């Protein structure tokens, strides 16, 4: 029996943002691989592992491949083993990935970011704790001299001059991403990294124009968006990933703040808000469960005109389809489930009676 047309599903409807049409609403979340060289002339350069990792999801039918957070500077990496996009050697290696992703009918995207006070740590399977110069580590920076957790170093508080410099690094990274062939760009403003550290009063204790009020705490995020939007081609879409809540009982970033910021981001040229939660403060109780972040995305969608994507324990095709059919989000973003099953989109299409592009050499298998 032949599959029903994709028109009968929400999950496999194309989605157009500016000049880019994404073939379906199954998007891959940016997930660090911690697999690049840590130092030397090839630090931060994509290797064969990265190519194979992203190529598998592209052949698996995923519509948009958002590459792991790629650092705008050496000091912006979460670990010394993260990908970077601060030099042209890195750009050359990334072109191989984008070319293959496009050849499979998927759209190549990239997330750029700066880890702030959560930088200079070891790989998770090595414990993930802070590392010093003897292990390729460095001095961290943040909006305020407030460490992430006990045992973490006190970050240097950024001066206004350094804030402007980092904003420029984001813009330069956006230009290199375009040169590398990416068609979607995402700014990482979530999970307690630098932009999120500015947003939350829990980590931002500044008394200048970058701290205190909502307007001041969101200033850096909007300045980065403006700088990136100016460097990123007008015809290509820009996403912003947000932690919709810090999950703190008081003194943190809230869902109300997220809705308020969403409207401002749209005014500044953001095309989709990619909704996640948490990551700013350690030891926070998060009520994780299937689709637990969907209500935050649904609220932004209901109260603003900014399109939203959502991530977080979305594992089953019917679950993903329901989120979209109910109008709670415009796309679903899969993380760990795509690590477990690179061909999740093909399985979902089969279960929902839709179709996704099949690589010619694989036709005999379906």
What domains are there in the chain, each with its CATH number?
Answer: 6-356 (3.20.20.70)
The closest alpha carbon to 29, from 73, 89, 56, 69, belongs to 69
The reported pLDDT for the residue numbered 2 is 36
Mean pLDDT of 35-59: 97
pLDDT tens profile 235-262: 999 999 999 999 999 999 999 999 999 9
pLDDT tens profile 183-213: 999 999 999 999 999 999 999 999 999 999 9
- Is a pLDDT exceeding 50 seen at residue 5? no
At residue 357 the predicted structure's pLDDT band, cuts being 50, 70 and 90, is confident
CA–CA separation, 229 and 59 (whole Å): 30
- Which of left, alpha, beta for 360 (phi over 0: left; psi -120 to 50: alpha)? alpha
The reported pLDDT for the residue numbered 7 is 53
Q: Which residues neighbour 18 within 8 Å (Cβ) at sequence distance 6 or greater?
A: 234, 235, 236, 237, 271
Pairing mode of beta strands 20-22, 15-17: antiparallel
At residue 8 the predicted structure's pLDDT band, cuts being 50, 70 and 90, is confident
- Is a pLDDT exceeding 90 seen at residue 4? no
Q: Is 15 helix (H, G, I), strand (E, B) or coil?
A: strand
Is the separation of the CB atoms in 286 and 249 below 8 Å? no
Which structure tokens are listed for 47? Answer: 């290797």
CA–CA separation, 276 and 296 (whole Å): 8
The stretches of the chain forming alpha helices (DSSP H) are 48-59, 88-103, 160-179, 194-199, 214-217, 219-231, 255-267, 294-303, 317-325, 336-340, 344-352
| Burial profile 17-47: b = 16 or more Cβ within 10 angstroms, e = fewer | beebebbbbbbbbbbbbbbbebeeeebbbbe
pLDDT tens profile 310-351: 999 999 999 999 999 999 999 999 999 999 999 999 999 999
Q: Say what the pTM is.
A: 0.96
The reported pLDDT for the residue numbered 208 is 97
Which residue pairs from 119-128 have beta carbons closer than 8 angstroms and sit at least 24 positions apart in sequence?
119/75, 119/76, 119/77, 119/78, 120/75, 120/77, 120/79, 120/80, 120/153, 121/78, 121/79, 122/79, 123/34, 123/79, 123/81, 124/34
Q: Is 282 helix (H, G, I), strand (E, B) or coil?
A: coil
pLDDT tens profile 95-108: 999 999 999 999 99
At residue 58 the predicted structure's pLDDT band, cuts being 50, 70 and 90, is very high
CA-angle at 292, arms to 125 and 289, nearest 5°: 60
The reported pLDDT for the residue numbered 363 is 81
The closest alpha carbon to 297, from 327, 321, 322, 317, belongs to 327
How many Cβ atoms sit within 10 Å of the Cβ of residue 10?
Answer: 22
CA–CA separation, 176 and 94 (whole Å): 10
The closest alpha carbon to 58, from 364, 280, 362, 303, belongs to 362
C-alpha distances out from residue 316 to 58, 77, 344, Å: 19, 32, 9
Q: Is 333 helix (H, G, I), strand (E, B) or coil?
A: strand
Task: Please report where in the chains the tokens 């689709």 appear, as a residue.
Answer: 291
Is the separation of the CB atoms in 236 and 185 below 8 Å? yes
- Secondary structure (H, E, C), 165-202: HHHHHHHHHHHHHHHCCCCEEEEEECCCCHHHHHHCCC
Please identify every residue annotated as catalytic: 193
CA–CA separation, 139 and 155 (whole Å): 7
């Amino acid at each position: 029996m032949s599959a029903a047309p994709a028109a009968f599903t929400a999950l496999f409807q194309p989605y157009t943002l500016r000049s880019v049409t994404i073939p379906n609403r199954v998007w891959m979340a940016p997930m660090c691989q911690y697999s690049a060289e840590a130092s030397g002339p090839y630090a931060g350069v994509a290797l064969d592992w990265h190519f194979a990792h992203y190529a598998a999801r592209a052949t698996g039918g995923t519509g948009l491949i958002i590459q792991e957070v790629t650092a705008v500077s050496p000091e912006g990496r979460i670990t010394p083993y993260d990908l970077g996009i601060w030099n042209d050697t890195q750009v050359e290696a990334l072109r191989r990935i984008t070319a293959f992703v496009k050849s499979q009918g998927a759209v190549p995207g990239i997330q750029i970011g700066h880890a702030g006070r959560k930088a200079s740590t070891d790989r998770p399977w090595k414990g993930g704790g802070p590392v010093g110069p003897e292990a390729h580590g460095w001095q961290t920076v943040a909006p305020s001299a407030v460490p992430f957790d006990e045992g973490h170093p006190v970050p240097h508080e950024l001066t206004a001059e350094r804030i402007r410099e980092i904003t420029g690094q984001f813009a330069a990274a956006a230009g290199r991403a375009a040169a590398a062939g990416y068609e979607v760009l995402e700014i990482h403003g979530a999970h307690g990294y630098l932009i999120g550290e500015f947003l939350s009063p829990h980590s931002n204790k500044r008394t200048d124009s970058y701290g205190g009020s909502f307007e001041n705490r969101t200033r850096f995020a909007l300045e980065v968006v403006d700088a990136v939007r100016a460097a990123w081609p007008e015809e290509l879409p820009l996403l912003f990933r947000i932690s919709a809540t810090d999950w703190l009982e008081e003194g943190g970033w809230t869902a109300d703040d997220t809705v308020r910021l969403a409207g401002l981001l749209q005014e500044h040229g953001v095309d989709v808000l990619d909704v996640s939660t948490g990551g700013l403060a350690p030891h926070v109780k998060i009520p994780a469960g299937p689709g637990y972040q969907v209500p935050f995305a649904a609220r932004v969608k209901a109260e603003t005109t900014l399109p939203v994507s959502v991530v977080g324990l979305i594992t089953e095709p019917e679950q993903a389809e329901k989120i979209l059919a109910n109008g709670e989000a415009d796309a679903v973003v899969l993380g760990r489930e795509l690590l477990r099953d690179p061909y999740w989109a093909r399985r979902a299409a089969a279960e929902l009676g839709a179709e996704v592009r099949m690589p010619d050499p694989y036709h005999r298998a379906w």
